[in-house]
């Protein structure tokens, strides 16, 4: 299995000289299975460049895009995803069921004349929508993708991909819940309040997790996590590699460096075996090169 990051930013794209290292595009992660099949998580602005590369580089032209949810920063790149305009591709869009509307309406809504120069019927790929349920796994050859409801707007999903002996979790736009005691984050409250997600993530090789804020910048109730709670969560779940993700748009490269250093410091103080890496646009992780 391979992971490639095409967009690591939260909320809104932030191109410019301050974000050259970690990138300015919004959420998009490519996972390539051993069979060569490509699975995509979210269609933020990073998906545009991924689409251009996929046009000529892959043999299996069946793509699956799993959406964490439909906030703008997770769908805004889709109208610019070139395989949608190519009849050789079949593309499955998978997302949580909505109570009040068809999921296709939400996605198609941004490809109409109010927002875009062409209409949806011009797309040439074979497009299929699939409404998915928490904890109902989707099978691909030797791999399994399982969604779980996470703590953000209703119907936001994290995903676990298992292929042979490797596990990757994509969990962004998740607010790790905790209590503060004596002005400190209470570690035990993280275990108690997030036990379902900690169990879901247990012993994963890679956890890609929302790391929007440093602790001092944290906005409670906004649906995102801070570096302290993310480090505690990853340690509690026995994660091997924590990949920080979905950075605040106001964080330049120096601030993301700081976020990473502070997270590593917390893990070190816990004597944790979890390694912490800041994801950045263009980063490629190939698990075939790792020991089992």
Q: Which is nearer to Zn ion, 73 or 163 (CB)?
A: 73
Looking at the Cβ atoms of 173 and 175, the one nearer to Zn ion is 173
- CB proximity list for 100: less than 8 A, separation 6 or greater: none
d(CA 26, CA 7): 5
Q: How far apart are CA 226 and CA 177, in angstroms?
A: 10
CA 7 centroid distance within chain? 9
Residue 225 is encoded by which pair of tokens? 């996590």
Measured from the CB atom, is 173 or 262 closer to Zn ion? 173
Within 270-289, the residues that bind Zn ion by CB under 5 A are none
Cβ of residue 271: shortest distance to Zn ion, in angstroms?
Answer: 32
What is the rounded distance in angstroms from the CA atom of residue 207 to the CA atom of residue 232?
13
Q: What angle do helix axes 253-269 and 227-236 make, rounded to 10 degrees?
A: 40
Q: Read off φ and ψ for residue 161, nearest 5 degrees.
A: -110, 125
With binding defined as CB under 5 A, does residue 151 bind Zn ion? no
Number of H helices, E strands in the chain: 6, 16
**In the complex, minimum distance from the CB of residue 152 to Zn ion, in angstroms, rounded to a whole number:** 5
Q: Which stretch binds Zn ion (CB under 5 A): 8-16, 106-114, 127-135, 176-184?
A: 8-16
Q: Could you say which of 4, 9, 48, 71 contacts Zn ion (CB under 5 A)?
A: 71
Q: Whose Cβ is closer to Zn ion: residue 49's or residue 73's?
A: 73
Min dist CB 260 to Zn ion, Å, is 19
Within 107-146, the residues that bind Zn ion by CB under 5 A are none
173 is an interface residue for Zn ion by CB under 5 A: yes
Closest to 174 (Cα-Cα) out of 215, 205, 212: 212
Say whether residue 73 binds Zn ion (CB under 5 A). Answer: yes
How many angstroms separate the CA atoms of 60 and 36, rounded? 7
Q: How far is the CB of 74 from Zn ion (least distance, A)?
A: 6
Quote the least distance from Cβ 69 to Zn ion, whole Å. 6
Does residue 175 belong to the site contacting Zn ion (CB under 5 A)? no
| Binding residues for Zn ion (CB under 5 A) | 10, 71, 73, 173
């Amino acid at each position: 299995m391979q992971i490639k990051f095409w967009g690591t930013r939260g909320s809104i794209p932030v191109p410019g000289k301050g974000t050259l290292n970690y990138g300015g595009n919004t959420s998009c992660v490519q996972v390539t299975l051993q069979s060569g099949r490509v699975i995509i998580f979210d269609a933020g602005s990073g998906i545009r460049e991924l689409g251009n590369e996929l046009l000529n580089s892959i043999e299996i032209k069946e793509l699956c895009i799993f959406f964490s949810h439909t906030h703008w920063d997770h769908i805004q790149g889709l109208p610019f995803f070139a395989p949608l305009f190519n009849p050789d591709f079949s593309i499955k869009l998978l997302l949580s069921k909505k109570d009040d509307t068809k999921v296709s309406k939400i996605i198609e809504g941004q490809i109409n004349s109010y927002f875009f120069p062409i209409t949806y019927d011009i797309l040439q790929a074979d497009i299929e929508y699939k409404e998915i349920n928490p904890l109902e796994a989707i099978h691909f050859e030797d791999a399994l993708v399982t969604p779980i409801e996470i703590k953000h707007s209703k119907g936001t999903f994290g995903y676990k991909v298992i292929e042979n002996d490797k596990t990757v979790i994509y969990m962004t736009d998740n607010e790790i819940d905790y209590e503060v005691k004596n002005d400190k984050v209470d570690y035990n409250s993280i275990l108690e309040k997030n036990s379902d997600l900690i169990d879901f993530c247990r012993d994963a090789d890679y956890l890609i997790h929302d790391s929007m804020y440093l602790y001092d910048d944290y906005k409670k109730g906004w649906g995102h996590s801070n570096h302290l709670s993310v480090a505690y969560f990853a340690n509690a779940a026995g994660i091997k590699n924590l990949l920080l993700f979905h950075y605040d748009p106001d964080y330049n490269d120096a601030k993301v460096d700081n976020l990473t250093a502070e997270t590593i410091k917390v893990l070190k103080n816990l004597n944790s075996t979890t390694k912490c890496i800041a994801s950045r646009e263009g980063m490629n992780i190939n698990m075939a090169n790792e020991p089992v």
